[in-house]
């Protein structure tokens, strides 16, 4: 058994404490291995070296599957070595086979708490208390200190949107990593920036309603009204207005009705009852 405080051999009896409970404090990597497994012997020193290098930012739990067959069955281990990551009591993802150190770092790093996380949490608390200048200052320092911290950038850009500082929001969004830009939160943020730009030059909501009532084909007023509805989180009304644009004309701003509907879908995470409903309605309108 290892004498390191960051590594332990784990059995069925202490799996709950050593893995599930521990994973509420830090990520836990569970290495399912066996003595006869050659790739396991190759992987063990790499995992051990990383556990020491990360100095407690993750915990390495080793499970000998020849002895702990019940655990191997419970976690559907079919190939050795298999390494699973647990966080907050749940198994999240895994890799199989011997891997180089660089690949394992890429595997675990998304689950490792960054030093800037505490700063971001403090900034969020300040924002919730109405102290936006303090929040922005904290977040800008966090981004400067750790340019790879996408979380700080997303929170900072979101506050900029709320403050109508859209050019700054766009600039911070552009600093996100390529991977982060494809994820739901960044896609939603991009949509909010887009709709906030429309609202910035739009007439008041009551005036837009009058314009649409006077001319139902006024697609510009409909798009502006939908943008206001998006920012007010009235997504169904926004999608209804945008769908009406699609039905009336595809020529408005190069099919803007459809494009804006897709942006709202991104805002909603691309799934859910409302998204499914309006995807079907959009499909019908296009066919």
SS (H, E, C) 249-270: CCCCCCCHHHHHHHHHHHHCCC
Least confident interval from 81-85, 112-116, 148-152, 257-261:
112-116
pLDDT tens-digit profile of 13-53? Answer: 999 999 999 999 999 999 999 999 999 999 999 999 999 99
Residue-level pLDDT at 146: 85
Cα 220 to Cα 211: distance, rounded to the nearest angstrom = 10
Mean pLDDT, residues 244-263 taken together = 95
Third-level CATH fold of 199-286:
1.25.40
Q: Judge contact between 6 and 54, C-beta under 8 A.
A: yes
Residue-level pLDDT at 2: 57
Residue-level pLDDT at 228: 97
Tokens describing residue 191: 């949509």
pLDDT of 133 above 60: yes
Same fold, 117-182 and 199-286: yes
What DSSP line would sit under 94-124, residue for residue? EEES---HHHHHHHHGGGSPPTTHHHHHHHH
Query: Domains of the chain: which residue ranges?
Result: 7-111, 117-182, 199-286
Residue-level pLDDT at 7: 96
Third-level CATH fold of 7-111:
Glutaredoxin (3.40.30)
Identify the sign of the CA torsion 77, 80, 101, 5: positive
Catalytic-labelled residue, pool 37, 138, 186, 189 = 37
Max alpha carbon distance in the chain (Å)?
Answer: 80
Q: What is the CATH number of domain 117-182?
A: 1.25.40.10
pTM of the model: 0.66
Mean pLDDT, residues 164-171 taken together = 96
| Residue 37 annotated to the active site | yes
Mean pLDDT, residues 217-222 taken together = 96
Predicted confidence band of residue 163 (pLDDT cuts 50, 70, 90): very high
Catalytic-labelled residue, pool 19, 30, 40, 264 = 40
pLDDT tens-digit profile of 106-125? Answer: 999 888 877 778 889 899 99
The whole-chain average pLDDT of the chain stands at 94
Cα 281 to Cα 260: distance, rounded to the nearest angstrom = 14
């Amino acid at each position: 058994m290892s004498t390191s405080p960051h590594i332990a051999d784990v059995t069925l009896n202490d799996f709950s404490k050593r893995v599930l409970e521990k994973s509420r404090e830090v990520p836990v990597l569970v290495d399912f291995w066996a003595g006869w497994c050659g790739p396991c012997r190759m992987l063990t020193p790499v995992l051990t070296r990383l556990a020491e290098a990360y100095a407690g930012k993750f915990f390495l739990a080793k499970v000998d599957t020849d002895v702990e067959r019940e655990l191997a069955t419970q976690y559907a281990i079919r190939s050795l070595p298999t390494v699973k990551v647990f966080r907050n009591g749940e198994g999240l993802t895994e890799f199989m086979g011997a891997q180089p150190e660089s690949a394992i770092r890429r595997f675990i790093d998304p689950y490792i708490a960054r030093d800037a996380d505490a700063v971001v949490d403090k900034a969020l608390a300040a924002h919730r208390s109405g102290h936006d200048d303090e929040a922005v200052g904290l977040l800008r320092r966090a981004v400067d200190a750790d340019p790879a911290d996408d979380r700080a950038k997303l929170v900072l850009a979101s506050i900029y949107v709320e403050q109508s500082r859209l050019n700054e929001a766009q600039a911070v969004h552009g600093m996100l990593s390529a991977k982060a830009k494809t994820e739901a939160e960044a896609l939603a943020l991009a949509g909010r920036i887009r709709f906030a730009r429309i609202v910035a030059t739009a007439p008041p909501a009551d005036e837009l309603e009058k314009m649409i009532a006077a001319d139902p084909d006024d697609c510009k007023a409909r798009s502006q009204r939908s943008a206001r509805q998006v920012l007010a989180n009235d997504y169904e009304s926004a999608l209804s207005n945008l769908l009406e644009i699609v039905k009336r004309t595809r020529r408005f701003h190069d099919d803007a009705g459809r494009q804006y509907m897709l942006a709202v879908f991104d805002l909603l995470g691309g799934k859910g009852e409302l998204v499914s409903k309006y995807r079907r309605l959009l499909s019908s309108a296009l066919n």
